[in-house]
Every structure is written in C-alpha cells, then in structure tokens.
C-alpha cells in the first residue's frame, strides 16, 4: 500500500499548524509598545507643550490637561479620558512641564479590540486546520476503500460463492490494489476447482455407466439361472429337489433386488439443501441481479417496490444460474422485465440466443438434463434443476419458454 501521499499530507498539516502558531505569537508581540518610542513622544510633547505641530506622531496617543480637557490626539477613535483608557488597558503617564504636572499622556492600546481580533484569528486558524485534517481523513478513507475495503469485499463475496459451489463466475483481476496478486490466485483456484468438479462429474458418470452395464450383465445370467431353476422345479418329482430349486429362485430374486437398489442409489443421489426464506424488501433484488450480471448485459429495468418472500442466498443462486446459462449458451444481450401479477413479483430474463427445442423445455428442470444443442458446452445440467428447487422451497416458481428470438426464464417471487 502506498503511504507516501498520506505521510506528505500529514507533514504539510504539521507545517501549517506550526506557521499558525508562529503567527499567533507574532500577534501577541503586537500588544507591547516600544518604551523608547514612548519616551520620544513624551519628550516631544513636554518640550513643545502647546505647539502641536512639533509633536512626535510615531505612536497613537492623546494629551489631556489636568481637568480632562482634550489638548491633542494623533487620530480619531482613541480613548480621550482616563476612564476610557483604563477600560481599554491603555498606558497613562503624567506630563511634567517646567516641574509641574500639566496633564496626562495616554497611549491607547485598544487591547480589547486586539484580543478580539486575536481570538478571531485563532478560531479561523483552527477551522482552516480542522477542515484540512478532515479533507485528509476523507481522502485517506476513499483511498483505503478503493485499495483495501472494496477489493476485500469482492474477495469475500467470491469466496462465499465458491463455498456455495458456484465456480462459473470469474473474479476480475485488478493488480492496482493490495489484493491484486490474490485475485489472480483466487481465480486460478476457482479454475482448478471447476476442473476438479468436471473430473469428479465425469468419474461419477463413468461409475453410473459402469453400474448400469454391470447390472445389465448380472441380470442376464441371473435371469437364465431363474428360468432354468423354474423349469427344473417343474420337471423334478422329488420334494427335496423342488425345495432346492425354490431356494435358487429366491436367491435369484434377492440378487435382482440388490442389483436394482445398487443402480437406483448411484443414479438418484438426491441431497436435501436447506432454504430459509423470509420477508424482504424488493429493492434487494436489484443488487442480486447486478451481482449475477457481472458482464452488465442486462438493459435498464425497474423493480417494483413491495415486500417479497425469499432466501437472499438461494435467490442469488437462482439468478446466478440463469445468467450463467445465458452467458454460456446464448452470449447475447439480456432483457430484464418486471411485473406484479396474482400476488407474485415476476422477473422475466430473456436473451437473444437460439433457444431450445419446444419438446425439451419441460425436461430442462430435471436433474442432469440439458438441451441437445448444448453438447459442445461444458456443464452438469444442474443449474435450472437447482433454480426450480429453490423457487419451490420459497413458495415461488420458475417458468421456461422460448422467446422470439431467444430463451426466457420467468422467476415468480411471492409477495407478502
């Protein structure tokens, strides 16, 4: 992860805070007045008392007599009485002319205004620095979200799908973040798992084929044994011999039943999958569809607002299977239409592919059944079977039909 921009921003913020502190210190120094200049101004007044044209005007000050009458001021807005000067924390000095006190020399610091200005400068500086720090935090969060949080979320979603057995959706590789190398490794893992699954399916199919052949091969000699024993039972006259032929018949029936059970158990290996539906807002469906349509082939559509009854995990699998079939067998744009009819939210997903034969449509929801035009594509024939199974468990249904052109899958989700 690149830390340099963040560290540079922190350094710049520290420099800004240091400069602000220096400015504040400089402002504090302004509260003090140079005593040399004060003495020069006082001497210019005492030496030239009464002749204001010769007064030193390097400082702002006021001259009043012993009765408080204003004799001179360098500018308007200065404190003109002793009381005002005290309030503003001004400097009040006696004017001694020819050995007598002739009046007061008042330097108006206007301390209150300076303090208020200083406070405002502190507030403004604090707000600027705080805003800068907030901007840095926001930029850093966006950076973390882009390079760490979002990639990790995608990896987590991908891992969940792999754990669910969905090995068809690839993981987009992006080496521009910290998990870049992991995305490539994860997708390689998915590919290897998919190969292993196909190899496992092939081995399973080979096993089923072998069992079917063995059952047929075993049944043939067993049937011959049974028919021979039945003929022998009819021909023999001895009770003991009839009894032995009866035992042979029973054993052949037992062997036949065992072979039938073996064949059935190898072909009909149905496993119960847990589905836990509940009431959910329909706007969640939009995200599920977008998750499945990772190639963004679906056009614009709107999901009507309502409460529907479904299992989020299983409905995601339904859309995954539908979109993956469309990607694999049609490879065209996809149209999504929605409607509410007869207490169902209906989502119709249509591609522009060749479709399937009309007589094959009712068979596509059966286990291990695929269209005859898909022989050149890999697949297990379980996608629509599982989608239909999940929809039934969620009190919904799945409808298949050919479109003009293409193939349409309608997902019926019960409204509540």
Residue range 356-385, pLDDT digits in tens: 998 999 889 888 778 777 766 766 677 888
Residue range 77-133, pLDDT digits in tens: 888 888 888 877 788 889 988 888 989 999 877 666 666 767 777 787 778 877 877
* Whole-number Å distance between alpha carbons of 275 and 172: 29
More confident residue, 83 or 411: 411
Model pLDDT, residue 394: 96
* Whole-number Å distance between alpha carbons of 263 and 211: 6
- Whole-structure pTM value: 0.41
Report the chain's mean pLDDT, rounded to a whole number. Answer: 81
Burial of 114-133, coded b for 16+ CB within 10 Å and e otherwise, reads beeeeeeeeeebeeeeeeee
Model pLDDT, residue 271: 46
Binned at pLDDT 50, 70 and 90, residue 155 comes out as confident
* Whole-number Å distance between alpha carbons of 166 and 182: 19
Residue 28 scores a pLDDT above 60: no
Per-residue three-class SS string for the chain: CCCHHHHHHHHHHHHHHHHHHHHHHHHHHCCCCCHHHHHHHHHHHHHCCCCHHHCCCCCCEEEEECCCCEEEECCCCCCCCHHHHHHCCCEEEEEEECCEEEEEEEECCCHHHHHHHHHHHHHHHHHHHHHHHHHHHHHHHHHHHHHHHHHHHHHHHHHHHHHHCCCCCCCCCCCCCCCHHHHHHHHHHHHHHHHHHHHHHHHHHHHHHHHHHHHHHHHHHHHHHHHHHHHHHHHCCCHHHHHHHHHHHHHHHHHHHHHHHHHHHHHCCCCCCCCCCEEEECHHHHHHHHHHCCCCCECCCCCCCCEEEECHHHHHHHHHHHHHHHHHHHCCCEEEEEEEECCEEEEEEEECCCCCCHHHHHHCCCCCCCCHHHCCCCCCCCHHHHHHHHHHHCCCEEEEEECCCCEEEEEEEEEC
When mean pLDDT is compared over 66-80, 234-248, 315-329, 337-351, the highest value belongs to: 337-351
| Residues in Cβ contact with 188 at an 8 Å cutoff, skipping those fewer than 6 apart | none
* Whole-number Å distance between alpha carbons of 74 and 93: 16
The overall longest dimension of the chain from CA atoms, in Å, is 171
Q: Which of these, 315, 312, 311, lies nearest to 276 by C-alpha position?
A: 311
Binned at pLDDT 50, 70 and 90, residue 144 comes out as confident
Range 151-172 average pLDDT? 72
When mean pLDDT is compared over 213-227, 236-250, 316-330, the highest value belongs to: 316-330
* Whole-number Å distance between alpha carbons of 331 and 319: 16
Residue 141 scores a pLDDT above 90: no
Binned at pLDDT 50, 70 and 90, residue 402 comes out as very high
More confident residue, 333 or 91: 333
Residue range 186-232, pLDDT digits in tens: 677 777 878 887 888 787 777 776 776 576 557 657 877 887 888 88
Q: Quick check: 378 and 198 in contact, CB under 8 A?
A: yes
Binned at pLDDT 50, 70 and 90, residue 175 comes out as low
Residue 41 scores a pLDDT above 70: yes
Model pLDDT, residue 191: 79
């Amino acid at each position: 992860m690149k830390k340099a921009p963040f560290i540079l921003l922190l350094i710049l913020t520290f420099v800004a805070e240091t400069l602000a502190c220096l400015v504040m210190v400089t402002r504090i120094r302004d509260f003090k007045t140079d005593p040399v200049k004060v003495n020069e101004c006082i001497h210019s007044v005492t030496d030239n008392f009464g002749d204001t044209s010769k007064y030193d005007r390097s400082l702002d000050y006021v001259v009043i007599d012993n009765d408080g009458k204003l004799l001179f001021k360098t500018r308007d807005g200065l404190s003109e009485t002793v009381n005002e000067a005290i309030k503003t924390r001004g400097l009040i000095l006696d004017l001694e002319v020819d050995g007598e006190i002739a009046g007061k020399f008042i330097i108006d610091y206007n301390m209150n205004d300076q303090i208020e200005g200083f406070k405002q400068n502190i507030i403004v500086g604090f707000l600027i620095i705080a805003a800068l720090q907030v901007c840095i935090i926001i930029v850093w969060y966006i950076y973390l979200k882009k390079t760490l949080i979002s990639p990790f979320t995608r990896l987590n979603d991908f891992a969940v799908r792999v754990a669910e057995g969905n090995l068809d959706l690839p993981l987009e590789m992006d080496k521009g973040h910290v998990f870049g190398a992991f995305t490539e490794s994860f997708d390689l893992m998915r590919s290897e798992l998919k190969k292993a699954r196909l190899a496992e399916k092939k081995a399973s199919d080979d096993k089923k084929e072998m069992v079917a052949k063995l059952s047929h091969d075993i049944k043939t000699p067993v049937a011959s044994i049974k028919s021979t024993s039945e003929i022998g039972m009819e021909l023999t006259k001895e009770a003991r011999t009839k009894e032995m032929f009866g035992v042979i018949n029973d054993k052949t029936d037992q062997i036949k039943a065992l072979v039938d059970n073996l064949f059935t158990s190898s072909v009909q290996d149905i496993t119960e999958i847990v589905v836990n539906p509940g009431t959910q807002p329909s706007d969640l469906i939009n995200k599920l569809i977008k998750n499945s349509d990772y190639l963004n082939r679906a056009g614009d559509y709107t999901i009507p607002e309502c409460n529907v009854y479904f299992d989020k995990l299983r409905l995601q699998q339904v859309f995954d299977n539908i979109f993956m079939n469309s990607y694999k067998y049609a490879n065209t744009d996809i149209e999504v239409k929605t409607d509410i009819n007869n207490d169902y939210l209906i989502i119709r997903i249509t591609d522009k592919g060749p479709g399937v034969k009309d007589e094959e449509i009712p068979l596509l929801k059966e286990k291990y059944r695929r269209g005859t035009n898909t022989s050149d594509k890999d697949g297990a024939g379980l996608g629509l079977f599982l989608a239909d199974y999940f929809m039934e468990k969620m009190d919904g249904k799945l409808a298949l039909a050919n479109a003009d052109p293409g193939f349409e899958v309608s997902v019926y989700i019960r409204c509540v």
